[in-house]
Amino acid sequence: MRMFIFILVATAFVGLTLPVAGKPAPKRALDENLLTNGDFEDGPKITQQWITFSAGSKHLPGWEIIRGDVDIVEDSFWTPAEGKRSLDLNGLEPGAIRQSFLTEKNKKYRVQFLISCTPRTTERKVKVAVGKESHIFTVDGTNNGYKEMNWTRVSWDFIATDEKSVLDISSETKNSGAVGPAIDDVTVRRLKS
Ligand SMILES: [Ca+2]
């Protein structure tokens, strides 16, 4: 009987330590994605396989198009890395997109996204930049198909120099016309550093 009572008391004590149902989980700032619409799922409903947005367009929520033009590509054209849409960084010409987000000065951040390329095209370059820091990723679409886009996850780290950072992602292949690199599921997260 004494053991039985002990088990009852122990069970009740453990029960008190369990999370209360409905209580929100503590905020996990390090895991928080700082970008809006990095998966390119938000935006106007389109019925065609892709739609081109030019510099200055307000049709890509969360992002500014700062140069050239880009295509939002539906999954009826090529398979996105995530969801139903991805972004071709060349609309009719190489394009560039921009988003600002809050950062903590001198903290380290990781930009991560999935990269691919228009099927059966040669080398394309994607540049990511925050302030004076930048990196160029190279991708090749030779072995890609519209169903098998061979999406690859890439990442690049930077140290914030201000309380607000500006991320630019651009297509950097000259004379690439309408045939560009593709990206999807862009995130920025703070690292422990
Ligand atoms: Ca997507």
Distance 9 CA to ligand 1 centre (A): 51
Q: What is the length of the chain?
A: 193
Distance 181 CA to ligand 1 centre (A): 14
Distance 82 CA to ligand 1 centre (A): 4
d(CA 187, CA 113): 6
Residues 38 and 61: beta-carbon distance below 8 Å: no
Q: What number is the average pLDDT over the span 71-79? A: 97
Model pLDDT for residues 24-36, shown as the tens digit of each residue: 444 446 789 999 9
The two tokens of residue 6 are 């002990």
- pLDDT, residue 5, reads 43
Distances (CA, A) of 69 to 57, 94, 146, 175, 178: 9, 6, 21, 14, 9
- pLDDT, residue 188, reads 98
Domain 39-190 class, CATH top level: mainly beta
The answer for residues whose C-beta is within 8 angstroms of residue 129's C-beta and 6 or more apart is: 135, 167, 168, 170
Distance 85 CA to ligand 1 centre (A): 4
Residues 94 and 172: beta-carbon distance below 8 Å: yes
Distance 115 CA to ligand 1 centre (A): 11
* Residue 153: CB atoms within 10 Å: 11
Cα dihedral 115, 71, 168, 142, rounded to 10, equals 30
- pLDDT, residue 192, reads 87
- DSSP class of residue 115? E
Distance 59 CA to ligand 1 centre (A): 16
Confidence of residue 7 (pLDDT cuts 50, 70, 90): very low
What is the percentage of the chain residues whose pLDDT exceeds 90?
80
Model pLDDT for residues 85-118, shown as the tens digit of each residue: 999 999 999 999 999 999 999 999 999 999 999 9
Q: What is the pTM assigned to this prediction?
A: 0.84
- pLDDT, residue 193, reads 65
Distance 13 CA to ligand 1 centre (A): 46
Q: Please report, for the chain, the start and end positions of each structural domain, with discontinuous segments joined by +.
A: 39-190
